[in-house]
Structure 1
Amino acid sequence: MHLSDDSQKRGGAMRENRKKKIKQAVFETIGVLISFLVLIPFLMVLVNSMKSKRQANLLQLNLKGISLGQIVENYGTVIKEARLVSSFLNSAIVTFCGSALVLTFASMAAFVVVRRKTKAMKAVNNFIVMGLTLPLAMVPVYFLLSKVHMTTGTGAVAGAILVYAASIFPFIFFIYTGFIKGISGEIDEAAIIDGASPLLMYFRIIFPLLKPVTITALMHCVMTIWNDFGISLYLLNSAKRTTAVLTTYLFMGQKASDWQLLFADVVLVSMPIVILYLCMQKYIVAGLSDGAVKG
């Protein structure tokens, strides 16, 4: 009887393991198929960026027509005609300043709202989070910026930075709020008892604890601002202030487009964000999951 019971248990365990393996294989297969759906457009862009104009116009996913000379010609032409060096510099300035503003003030606002459990702070929280559902209306924004002379010259860059910061602020505030709820308030009390001022306590003690969610928020800010097209089109559309994303316009026309140059431009513009995302991917996932659990 004991041998029969043991064999039944082993048989049940084997069947259970087999079911788990089958489920895992099914999910992995689905994941691979979804990955191909996402990667195929990127491969199409990359492959056709290395072809001649005639071959690129066919928009085919094959290696026919690719040569080292053609690659050098396409990418060299894009860098020169699109003035990518200055465009990258403009994008870097706007992205860095906008991200710094959002991370600083969104984290501070989230800390105050979480720690002060009053009706006023609850109303402030609801008001800010409501920004997640409201679209950005560029016409009134542009009208407001024009009234304060922030649509021309260096003022346009400052105006674009403020608009970017305001548009991203609600989401960054939201994820900071969820993370800060998991930090004990006793840490604040101990710092204040030791004589630390509120600002010193926040930047020396609290902010370092926010490193996981800060990295996640930073990546979201960088990718959003760098890849944005609409705000740059309205506010940074002059030759000197154009951002990297807007350079794609140079190779598109109403009747004809230089697809090989357009694809090469897309590859170059996307490369910094792709590399940064691949390097920071584990921190992004960790920050989002920690914020979700603690929230």
Structure 2
Amino acid sequence: MSAGLWLVLAAAALPFDVRLTPEQPLQGQLFIIEIPGAQPDDRLSGTFDGSPIHPFIDARGRLRALAAVKLQRPAGKASLNLRLERAGEPPRIRNLAVRVRAGSFPEQTLTVDPKFLAPPKKAWPQIAADQKAMDRVFSAPDSEKKWLGRFIWPSDGRRGGGFGLRRTFNKIQRSRHWGIDISGEEGDPVASIGAGVVVLKRDCYYSGGTLVVDHGAGLFSLYFHLSRYEVEEGESVAQGQIIGRVGATGRATGSHLHISTKLGKIPFDPASLIEADLSEDEPPAAQPDSAPPPPPMPAPAADPGTGPAAP
């Protein structure tokens, strides 16, 4: 028997347990991969639906990873391919089929000034530069995990304009909504949803005053339409620290905060991160049933500038 064949057979003979939370994620949702019984020096790698997973070790010593379902991914089975490396042993391989459930994404119809839909030619260079700056941030290798425990909402405003919302402007469907809009008055505080480092501070054409916080392990939070910054690029921030102020900068029709989250280059529903059981100080407690969604925000706070052409 060749050495290569022996390694393949040995890997197949050394399975390992995998726990997914939730077991059947929704379109556009973040989920957690955990390897129960992993040893301290074990290393995990792999892909979900063709995109890299993002491993980390939490404060309780658990080997976990984050993965996200793309919003446009059809419901059905998606491949999760994992590789566990342990000193002195051949790699262990597990290939799983994860069932992706269909999400529910409402539609919103708005009538806005045409100037919000077609940027003037003179704005094209800035739009391209904004996109390049964003791409540079999300293409960087994963940094070390910086957060501790669960994430929080960035403000206490009313939430509407949900993730994945299908938006029709002036009778033409223009975009999907890649974040959540939170109501607020100009100058209201905006907090970081978790500990991290500010990796982008930029006045963008579409998203206006923009901050991006790197939380480590491929996880980012983005804050749009800010009227003022309270932090500098490169600064470390704590969970709950005020990093900016609500505004209506960029392509927004009213004061509000747009919060987005990304895992690497994949945008996903911020609510799935904030609701995720990332507790680290004690065993997870039973969670109450989810509260009903808040009422939708009024149309004036609509955000026509965060569609496909925006960061």
For the criterion TM > 0.5, the same-fold answer is: no
TM-score by structure 1 length? 0.22
Q: Considering only CA atoms, is the larger Rg found in Structure 1 or Structure 2? A: 1
Between Structure 1 and Structure 2, the one with more strand by share is 2
Q: Relative contact order (alpha carbons < 8 A, sep ≥ 6): 1 or 2 greater? A: 1
What's the TM-score once normalised by structure 2's chain length? 0.21
Choose between structure 1 and 2: higher helix proportion: 1
